[in-house]
Chains A and B, each alone.
Chain A
């Protein structure tokens, strides 16, 4: 994935600063809405690492969103909040372990077969949790208490406070972007982008492409679990729909809508899609139809996604050519 042009970077910083002001002015509903959007942005960025990083289009990424949420709900004590300090690493590690098991099988394939296999695994997890008594079956589970954030025995942050949860989501979102950006600049990131562009050549050069694809799949799963953690914390409830292919399709749509060539694309797509839906929902009952039209128009007019609105034309081959 290309580095972001300067204009887009500046706009992103301004957007984050503006976002940080939201809880100071906005009412309850808006704070909750933006907390949810930032959760979805983390979800979308983790999928973006797979789709525009390695070139693996997953239609089962919601499996790791659902897992992240369920692991928190199932491991939280019944009469007090779990400590974030151990709950978050646990959620990430368990989800990453499941991603490693699924990934070991699915990254052997590519293209349409990868899409079908990830879809199949996503549906398997959906039915597993849908039918499992310990997980509450089709009703899901409640999270009786939100995780606690303590330092030296006293409460540092209360996630029950809406603005606080908002700021935690904001920090997690920026951190997720930072981690993905760091990975993409490191040798590992260069290798996976090379695999997307030309995997046979990478093998001929000596790269064990299977290992790199698997590692990327595990990292994407682990980062996605953070979004699941935030979701369960915000809504204090989990249900099997979190695993559904509809959820996987929605987040894939955000990634494509935002733009596959930009690192900020998935986050822009998450904000764009949810805010668009919110706006039209207030205007018409046929908002799903409007959303469909919106996606089609964006994809047709902006092949490089919403992110390309904020960047100058990519230099063409000839322009990039002067030494």
Chain B
């Protein structure tokens, strides 16, 4: 069995009286596409925020690549190789597609405390930005302002900015949100391509897409893990049927 890249132990997050994430213990294996599903308000995005470091947990532990990262701030975790994309598109609207990706690529420098040499001169950064644009299929739109892109293209850029940092673990929050069928198909293809060389944790509502890409599915309800297993097992699970999949609003 491959070594687990990401492990959480009894991870919890409380907001006042609300327990958003309750005692979640996850193991994400290297190279897997690990999907987290569940109804709205199940705590999926909060879980992702705990993993990326955007929020500190109330209790529990997170280990990444064997290293304890529970108390590391978001920017330190990003430098260790945890990349994150957001449910609500979170790009730099007034910059071009290229500059969006270039900023992602520049984040990989040991430091950006360079004051003299123009940023454009760094060939390594430029090449990383180019690769990221190519991966998400936006090379042809490099000079377009991010704010001028279609919704689907903005979702692609959202992923591209993250990929430019060359992370090893990708945390994707609803990459297909609001996409047309066509765009969803392309995103599924992209996720399959990313599987080579990355581990992915994916939150998604589109069940067809989830079952198309997932190696492991974890079902969350009310902040807790209801079930976790291979797609077949989840599909057959009576508890999951009752709590989630059975309802028609998925």
Contacts and interface: CB of A to CB of B under 8 A. Distances in A.
A19 to B, nearest CB: 27
A209 interface: yes
Interface stretch (A112-120, A198-206, A280-288): A198-206
A189 B161 contact: no
Given A203-B74, A317-B148, A321-B148, A194 B115 contact: no
B236 interface: no
A205 B107 contact: yes
Interface in B145-174: 145, 147-148, 161-162, 165
Contact of B54 (A197, A200, A317): A200
Interface in A203-228: 203-209, 211-212, 215
Nearest to B104: A205
Interface stretch (B1-9, B87-95, B238-246): B87-95
Interface in B121-141: 122, 125, 140-141
Given A188-B113, A215-B113, A320-B143, A209 B92 contact: no
Nearest to A261: B94
A205 B165 contact: yes
Interface string B105-124: 01111001111111110100
B118 A198 contact: no
Contact of B109 (A187, A204, A208, A323): A187
Interface stretch (A71-79, A144-152, A178-186): A178-186
Interface size class of B (residues with CB under 8 A): 35 or more
B235 interface: no
A113 B108 CA distance: 31
A318 interface: yes
Nearest to B109: A187
A320 B104 contact: no
Contacts of A189: 115, 119
B78 A186 contact: no
| Chain A contact residues, majority secondary structure | helix
A206 B165 contact: yes
A204 B165 CA distance: 10
A187 B112 contact: yes
B143 A206 contact: no
A207 B144 contact: no
A6 interface: no
A185 B114 CA distance: 10
Contacts of B108: 206
B182 to A, nearest CB: 21
B112 to A, nearest CB: 4
Contacts of A200: 54, 90
A209 B76 CA distance: 11
A191 interface: yes
A189 B141 CA distance: 24
A20 B115 CA distance: 29
- A: interface residue count bin: 20 to 34
A133 interface: no
A278 B140 CA distance: 52
A246 interface: no
Most B CB contacts (10 A, CB to CB) among A194, A209, A321 go to A194
Nearest to A320: B145
Interface in B47-103: 52, 54, 73-76, 78-79, 84, 86, 90-96, 99, 102-103
A321 B119 contact: no
Contacts of A198: 90-92
A212 B96 CA distance: 22
Contact of A212 (B112, B125, B140): B112
Contacts of A202: 103, 107
A182 B116 contact: yes
Nearest to A201: B90
Contacts of B165: 205-206
Contacts of B99: 190
A187 B52 CA distance: 24
Contacts of B94: 197
Given A190-B103, A194-B103, A320 B119 contact: no
Nearest to A185: B118
Interface of B: 52, 54, 73-76, 78-79, 84, 86, 90-96, 99, 102-104, 106-109, 112-120, 122, 125, 140-145, 147-148, 161-162, 165
Q: Which 3 A-B pairs have the closest CB atoms?
A: A206-B78, A317-B148, A205-B107
Interface of A: 182-183, 185-191, 194, 197-198, 200-209, 211-212, 215, 317-318, 320-323
21 contacts: A183-B115, A185-B120, A186-B118, A186-B119, A187-B119, A187-B122, A188-B113, A189-B115, A191-B112, A194-B92, A194-B95, A194-B103, A197-B95, A198-B92, A201-B90, A203-B54, A204-B86, A205-B78, A207-B75, A212-B112, A321-B148
Given A198-B92, A201-B86, 7 more contacts: A187-B117, A190-B103, A198-B90, A204-B54, A212-B112, A212-B113, A321-B148
